[in-house]
A = this chain, B = another copy of it.
Amino acid sequence: MKGGYMGSTLRIDLSKNKISEEKPEKSWAVKYVGGRGWGARKVWEEVGVNVDPLGPDNLVFFGSGPLTGLLVPSAGKMSIVSISPATGIYADSNVGGAFGAELKQAGYDAIALRGVSKKPVYIMIDDGDVELREAKEYWGAGALVTEEQLKKDIGDNNIHVLAIGPAGENLVKFACMTSDYGRNAGRTGMGAIMGSKKVKAIVVRGFKDIPIADVDRFMDIAYESYRLISENEILDIWQRQGTLQVIDWANERGVLPTKNFQETVFEQAEEIGGDKMEEVKTTSRACFACPMTCGNYCVIREGDTKVVVEGPEYETAAMLGSACGIRDLKTIIKANNLCDDLGIDTISSGNLIGLLMEAYEKGIITKDETGGIELKFGNGEAVLKMLEMIAKREGIGGIVAEGVKAVTEKWKEMKPFAMQTKGLEQSAYDTRASPGMALAYATCDVGAHHSRAWVISKDLEMRDKWTAEDRAKLVIYHQHVRPLFDCLGVCRLEWIELSIDENIYADFYTSITGIKTTLKELLERSEAIYNLTRAINVVRGISRADDYPPERVFCDPIPSGPLRGRLLQREEYDRLLDTYYRLRGWSDKGIPTKETLKRLGLKEVALELEKSRKLKRKYK
């Protein structure tokens, strides 16, 4: 390991105010690659099965990767890993911007937090010097406001801040962490974990060099990768529209979540899509070292107030837009800004508000329960109001703040059309015509999120030509290759959208670390990590029944659009899941077999898994 890694993890026990450094063994570090891989292993080793995710014993791990902070296309990524308060199982969430890159320049590969601080603090990491500083004056403030204020107070506009808003402080189960004015680790409630630990923010500043084993080779690869990207014809539209072009794609294909996934085509899609963004946006914005510049900066002026936001991204525009029947980009931009400052995930928020809107229109919840809000699809004011109520736990917001599990426990009638798996609100693709994408959501290790596998495009194209094996194979490949980017600490968009060959990242890895490797080897490590996160979930009670899409997918045919009449067949999905398990080397209950874990170098995990399952049988 001659490069890429800074060599140590910053460990802070907040209960004891204890700050230390941990240097992992080289073989360990290499085996788990970085970021998500390291975090998963730490969680497996250090977090008890019955941990309270919002208690002192939960660990939250911030991991960069070996490519982070270097001249690699969009190598500013960092994974945050823990046990989620929303789902109670393995969770990670990824943040762009440049926090991860700066962390490495400050001398650390990762941060591991445990315990609970007695009073609100922020963590100051200043090029190797680490301090817990009182955060009383920031507590209660928005995440964006906090970032701005910290920069002012510290007197350096070039520091990077990762902060929570009121939602995180109030332990909203889908509170996020925000960095660089609107880059979020959005999903799985990482903000609530920070809130529970009384950490308002982490600030980082660094000036160290990140070592590279073979600089010449590295520069050749870097040059080549940027050249390939710059020559790509599709780059232009990404720079102009960012992910908002996906609104148009999804709407044309008939998979755009509309009115809480009832419909899949949104009449006003044009008003919230890519072309509209081009009209509205002020400028583009990039994460660290990224040539795609997919971030859109928008400024809205209303009287004296000015709303500045980076976004919305596709997921935000779909979930706070079409999924809630909101037909104008301005309202979505305002909602996006509100979410960033309050510190709540736009996907979960939009999903839940859409769910409540459907329930309201169906008479399951009444105006009495909403506190007088006319919670109908298309009511933008209601969306903005609900976001405030959620973050501040006011009225019905207090229930919604507990996430989809609590909502459907309170109003059981919502269950069939609560679009979620494993307690995580589904992100923005309708899966009724794509068994593969349904499988991708349902077998994603953190819940119904698209980050692990995104196969909907190919699946729709291949529909009748594909066997269950074809589908399951692509899902599995995605579940290894996409999280590999999270391990390496780079963005996957260049690979997905600009067709940059994934082998190039293995070459980057070799030239940076000096450890000769291939994509195949890295994918095997990613497979091991996927089995490890499954094991973390299995000991927490996850099994086959948790790998199913919500009922709507099996029940309500798509009512209009190009995929009108389509529906997922339960029997087809059963078979697909069987095939997936078989190809993964998991039992038909979805448990990784001893043989599979041994093959992947996880013998000790196999033993633990067996012990835990025996115990469960014994006390059943």
Interface positions of A (Cβ within 8 A of B): 359, 362-364, 412-413, 415-417, 551-552, 554-557, 559-560, 564-567, 569-570
Contacts and interface: CB of A to CB of B under 8 A. Distances in A.
Contacts of A560: 363
A360 to B, nearest CB: 10
A566 B364 CA distance: 7
A413 B364 CA distance: 26
The residue in A416, A559, A560 that gathers the most chain B C-beta atoms within 10 A of its C-beta is A416
B569 A363 contact: no
Is the contact region of chain A dominated by helix, strand, or loop, or is it mixed? loop
Contacts of A569: 412-413, 415
B416 A565 contact: no
Contacts of A567: 412-413, 416
Given A416-B567, A565-B413, A364 B557 contact: yes
A416 B362 contact: no
A550 to B, nearest CB: 10
A120 to B, nearest CB: 41
B555 A416 contact: yes
Contact of A555 (B417, B559, B566): B417
Contacts of A559: 362-363
A552 B417 CA distance: 12
Contacts of A412: 567, 569
A416 B416 CA distance: 12
- The 8 A-B residue pairs with the shortest CB-CB distance, nearest first, are A555-B555, A363-B564, A363-B565, A364-B565, A416-B555, A413-B567, A362-B557, A551-B555
The residue in A362, A364, A559, A570 that gathers the most chain B C-beta atoms within 10 A of its C-beta is A362
A332 to B, nearest CB: 28
Contacts of A551: 551, 554-555
The residue in A415, A565, A569 that gathers the most chain B C-beta atoms within 10 A of its C-beta is A565
A416 B554 contact: yes
Given A412-B567, A413-B557, A413-B567, 17 more contacts: A362-B564, A363-B557, A363-B559, A363-B560, A363-B564, A364-B565, A412-B569, A413-B565, A415-B569, A415-B570, A416-B554, A416-B556, A417-B555, A551-B554, A551-B555, A552-B555, A556-B556
Contacts of A570: 415
A551 B559 CA distance: 17
Contacts of A552: 555
Nearest to A413: B567
A362 B565 contact: yes
A415 B568 CA distance: 10
A565 B570 CA distance: 25
A258 to B, nearest CB: 16
28 contacts: A359-B565, A362-B557, A362-B559, A362-B564, A362-B565, A363-B557, A363-B560, A363-B564, A363-B565, A364-B557, A364-B565, A412-B567, A412-B569, A413-B565, A413-B566, A413-B567, A415-B569, A415-B570, A416-B554, A416-B555, A416-B557, A551-B551, A551-B554, A551-B555, A552-B555, A554-B555, A555-B556, A556-B556
The residue in A363, A364, A552 that gathers the most chain B C-beta atoms within 10 A of its C-beta is A363
A359 B559 CA distance: 10
A565 B551 CA distance: 16
Nearest to A358: B557
A19 B551 CA distance: 55
A556 B362 CA distance: 10
A560 B363 CA distance: 8
Nearest to A366: B565
The residue in A412, A552, A555, A559 that gathers the most chain B C-beta atoms within 10 A of its C-beta is A555
Contacts of A415: 569-570
A564 B552 CA distance: 18
A354 to B, nearest CB: 15
A560 B567 CA distance: 24
A413 B413 CA distance: 23
Contacts of A416: 554-557, 567
Contacts of A364: 557, 565
A124 B559 CA distance: 55
Contacts of A566: 413
A544 B8 CA distance: 57
A412 B555 CA distance: 11
A37 to B, nearest CB: 37
A413 B553 CA distance: 11
Contacts of A565: 359, 362-364, 413
A413 B433 CA distance: 11
A145 B98 CA distance: 86
A359 B565 CA distance: 8
A566 B565 CA distance: 25
Contacts of A556: 416, 555-556
A363 B264 CA distance: 14
A382 B552 CA distance: 30
